[in-house]
């Protein structure tokens, strides 16, 4: 049997669609996580999504159990209807083809309503505390801490600054930069921890009807909630005016426990946004160059603009601001 034959056979078995029933399987666009996606369709508009994942990437093996747990906690994610760990195949509920990104050109009232629903669901996710998580049965990647933040920062320097922008750092400049980033790490590590999506951007929020659903959460872990807020509200894939971004951030703040005052809340948001945007730019460089997924390179200009904007809200990141300016010049 070919790979596609195995996919079709597993989809039929999971859905109960027998071999005599006409059905089609169509490959969907590739994503950056060593997984292949297919839509298996039959009957009058019935379909499921089949994922063929690389089990060598640890987080891919965690998706099914995380999804089932999140549904039990009323966090909106697709239902997993079948999982064969040996064949590394999963069958999921089909949430359609419209994600939050697809609404980028809609008027603000329409977008605001969708983002507010997404933020309300995000707040539900962020309400899950480490002490209450069933770590014995649901596996997650290691939580955010100094090692992961340093990894993300070096990922940015290697795959974006050096490899993509061809910018070499003078030793004294690099020393000042790493001192700033160490301070950033300390600040982020001091924040309240909760369950975070880790890649909460507009293409990872599907919209079915008018309701948002999270996808691509296999890298979920414990960390600070501002990382997700920065992912969503400083997303390089979409554009917000400063007023729109502040309105949405304020909406989440009102839903939260407000243990920080508004000024401190905003300061933490911008610090976490800087970290997230460095990670995203490193990923764009790595996926676009090392993995050959060149579409990711098209998001670099917006990502760099957003990083510069976020860094402008953190007064002590002067060296990072110099670096973003140098990268902007290097990229023309």
pLDDT of residue 257: 85
Burial of residue 306 (CB within 10 Å: 0-12, 13-18, 19+) is buried
What HEC string does the chain produce?
CCHHHHHHHHHHHHHCCCCCCCEEEEECCCCCCCEEEEEEEECCCEEEEEEEECCCCHHHHHHHHHHHHHHHCCCCCCCEEEEECCCCEEEEECCCCCEHHHHCCCCHHHHHHHHHHHHHHHHHHHCCCHHHCCCCCCCCCCCCCHHHHHHHHHHHHHHHHHCCCCCCCCHHHHHHHHHHHHHHHHHHHCCCCEEECCCCCHHHEEEECCEEEECCCCCCEEECHHHHHHHHHCCCCCCCCHHHHHHHHHHHHHHCCCCCCHHHHHHHHHHHHHHHHHHHHHHHHHHHHHCCCHHHHHHHHHHHHHHHHHHHCCCCCHHHHHHHHHHHHHHC
Q: Is 26 exposed, middle or buried (0-12, 13-18, 19+ CB in 10 A)?
A: exposed
Answer yes or no: are the C-beta atoms of 228 and 197 closer than 8 Å. Answer: yes
Distance CA 40, CA 48 (A): 5
Give the pLDDT of residue 1.
Answer: 63
C-alpha torsion 54→237→256→129, nearest 10 = 10
CA 102: distance to chain centroid? 16
Q: Where are the domains of the chain?
A: 3-93, 100-331
- 13 vs 18, 90, 96, 230, CA distance in Å? 8, 12, 21, 41
Strand partners, 196: 221
Q: Classify domain 100-331 at the CATH class level.
A: alpha beta
Output the pLDDT for position 239: 97
Nearest-angstrom CA–CA distance, 189 and 145: 6
Domain 3-93: give its CATH architecture: 2-Layer Sandwich (3.30)
- pLDDT value at residue 113: 98
| Residue 133 neighbours by CB under 8 Å, 6+ apart | 140, 195, 222
Q: Do domains 3-93 and 100-331 have the same CATH topology?
A: no
What is the radius of gyration, based on Cα positions, of the chain?
A: 21
pLDDT averaged over 10-residue windows placed end to end, the chain, 332 residues: 86 95 90 85 95 95 98 98 96 97 98 98 97 96 98 98 97 98 98 97 97 97 98 98 98 93 98 98 96 94 98 98 98 92
- Residue 47, beta-bridge partner list: 41
* Cβ pair 198, 228 in contact under 8 A: yes
> How far apart (Å, rounded) are the C-alpha atoms in residues 125 and 188?
19
Nearest to 178 by CA among 161, 193, 163: 161
Torsions phi, psi for 106 (to 5 deg): -80, 165
Global pTM value: 0.96
| Residue 29: per-residue pLDDT | 83
């Amino acid at each position: 049997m070919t790979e596609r034959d195995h996919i079709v056979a597993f989809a039929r078995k999971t859905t109960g669609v027998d071999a005599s029933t006409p059905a089609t399987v169509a490959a969907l666009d590739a994503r950056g996580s060593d997984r292949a996606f297919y839509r298996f369709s039959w009957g009058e508009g019935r379909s499921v999504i089949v994922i063929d994942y690389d089990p060598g990437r640890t987080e891919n093996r965690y998706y099914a159990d995380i999804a089932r747990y999140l549904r039990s906690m009323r966090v909106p994610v697709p239902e997993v209807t079948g999982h064969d760990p040996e064949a590394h195949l999963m069958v999921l509920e089909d949430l359609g083809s419209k994600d939050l990104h697809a609404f980028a050109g809609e008027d603000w009232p329409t977008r605001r309503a969708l983002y507010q629903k997404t933020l309300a669901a995000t707040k539900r996710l962020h309400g899950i505390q480490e002490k209450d998580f069933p770590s014995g049965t649901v596996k997650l990647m290691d939580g955010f801490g100094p090692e992961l933040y340093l990894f993300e920062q070096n990922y940015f320097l290697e795959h974006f600054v050096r490899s993509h922008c061809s910018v070499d750092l003078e030793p004294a400049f690099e020393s000042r930069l790493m001192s700033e980033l160490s301070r950033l790490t300390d600040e982020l590590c001091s924040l309240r921890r909760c369950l975070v999506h880790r890649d909460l951007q507009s293409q990872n929020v599907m919209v079915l009807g008018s309701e948002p659903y999270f996808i691509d959460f296999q890298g979920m872990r414990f960390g600070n909630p501002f990382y997700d807020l920065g992912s969503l509200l400083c997303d390089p894939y979409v554009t917000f005016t400063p007023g729109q971004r502040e309105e949405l951030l304020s909406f989440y703040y009102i839903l939260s426990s407000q243990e920080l005052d508004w000024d401190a809340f905003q300061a933490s948001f911008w610090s976490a946004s800087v970290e997230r945007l460095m990670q995203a730019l490193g990923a764009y460089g790595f996926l676009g160059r090392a993995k050959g997924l060149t579409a990711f390179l098209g998001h670099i200009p917006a990502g760099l603009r957003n990083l510069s904007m976020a860094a402008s809200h953190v007064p002590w990141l002067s060296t990072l601001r110099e670096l973003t300016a140098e990268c902007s010049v290097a990229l023309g």
